[in-house]
Amino acid sequence: MTLEELRSRVDELDCQLVALLNERASTAKQIGQIKAASSMQVYVPGREKLVYENLRAANQGPLPDAELLHIYERILDVMRALQRNELASQKNAQAARDAQLGQPADAEASETGK
């Protein structure tokens, strides 16, 4: 292949990566919604460890595991940020609903004694 053909292939792969990363981000946001509704933590170390194990198992090179994991550390940071934003959005929406109903933001906590 020529340099131009290889660069064209890289451009195609980049477009595929962007589409896949956005699909992953949409899924992460949905997970964030479930976590928010279930009062779960965004960061789950055991799940992250499993993701890294899956990546190592799937990696057939030439990218070394360490470099692949380095890339995924950043991807997971971004996905956690999306989930935190989703959680914050849901909390803000709940606070707005409570305000419309004339309830203080901590009404539920005071009712349950928390």
pLDDT tens for the chain, 114 residues long, are 999 999 999 999 999 999 999 999 999 999 988 988 888 999 999 999 999 999 999 999 999 999 999 999 999 999 999 999 888 887 788 788 888 888 765 554 445 454
Dihedral, 84, 86, 88, 90 alpha carbons, nearest 10: -150
Report the distance separating Cα 98 and Cα 45, nearest Å: 33
